[in-house]
Amino acid sequence: MADWEDLHHFVTLAREGTLSAAARTLGVDHATVARRVAALEQSTGLKLVDRRARTTSLTEDGKRIAAVAAPMEEAAFAVGRAAQAAKPGVDGEVSISAPPNFASSVIAPQLTLLRAQHPAIRIKLIGEKRQASLGRREADVALRLMRPVEAGLMVRKIGSFGFSLYGAANYLEKTPAHALSFIGYDASMADSPQEIWLRTIVGEREVVLRTNDLETQVSAACAGLGVAALPHYLGDSEPRLQRYAVPQKPISREVWLAVHRDLRQVPAVRAVMEFLVSCLRPQ
Partner DNA sequence: GGCCGGATATGCGAAATTCCACGAATCTGC
Partner DNA sequence: GCAGATTCGTGGAATTTCGCATATCCGGCC
Q: Residues 49 to 68: which contact a copy of itself by CB under 8 A?
A: 61, 64-65, 68
Q: What is the DSSP letter of 225?
A: S
- 1 near DNA, judged by CB under 7 A: no
- 132 near a copy of itself, judged by CB under 8 A: no
C-alpha distances (whole Å) from 34 to each of 4, 73, 82, 150 are 15, 19, 30, 31
- When the beta carbons of 129 and 174 are compared against DNA, the nearer one is 129
Q: Closest Cα partner for 144 from 235, 259, 231?
A: 259
Burial class (CB in 10 A: 0-12, 13-18, 19+), 134: buried
- When the beta carbons of 133 and 192 are compared against a copy of itself, the nearer one is 133
User: How many Å is the Cα radius of gyration of the chain?
Assistant: 24
- Determine contact, residues 96/111, Cβ cutoff 8 Å: no
Q: Residue 118: which of a copy of itself, DNA, none does it interact with, CB under 5 to 8 A by kind?
A: none
Q: Residues 28 to 47: which contact a copy of itself by CB under 8 A?
A: 44-46
Q: Residues 45 to 64: which contact DNA by CB under 7 A?
A: 51-56
d(CA 81, CA 73): 12
- When the beta carbons of 20 and 170 are compared against DNA, the nearer one is 20
- When the beta carbons of 53 and 83 are compared against DNA, the nearer one is 53
- When the beta carbons of 80 and 148 are compared against a copy of itself, the nearer one is 80
Q: Residue 31: which of a copy of itself, DNA, none does it interact with, CB under 5 to 8 A by kind?
A: DNA
Q: Which stretch binds DNA (CB under 7 A): 23-31, 69-77, 193-201, 230-238?
A: 23-31
E strands, the chain, in order: 49-51, 56-58, 92-98, 121-127, 141-144, 153-168, 181-184, 206-210, 227-231, 241-244, 252-260
d(CA 38, CA 237): 56
- Determine contact, residues 227/181, Cβ cutoff 8 Å: yes
- 31 near DNA, judged by CB under 7 A: yes
Q: Which stretch binds DNA (CB under 7 A): 31-39, 92-100, 195-203, 271-279?
A: 31-39
d(CA 283, CA 278): 9
Give the interface with DNA as residue ranges (CB under 7 A): 5, 18-21, 27-32, 34-36, 39, 51-56
Give the interface with a copy of itself as residue ranges (CB under 8 A): 1-5, 7-8, 26, 44-46, 61, 64-65, 68-69, 71-72, 74-76, 78-80, 82-83, 86-87, 137
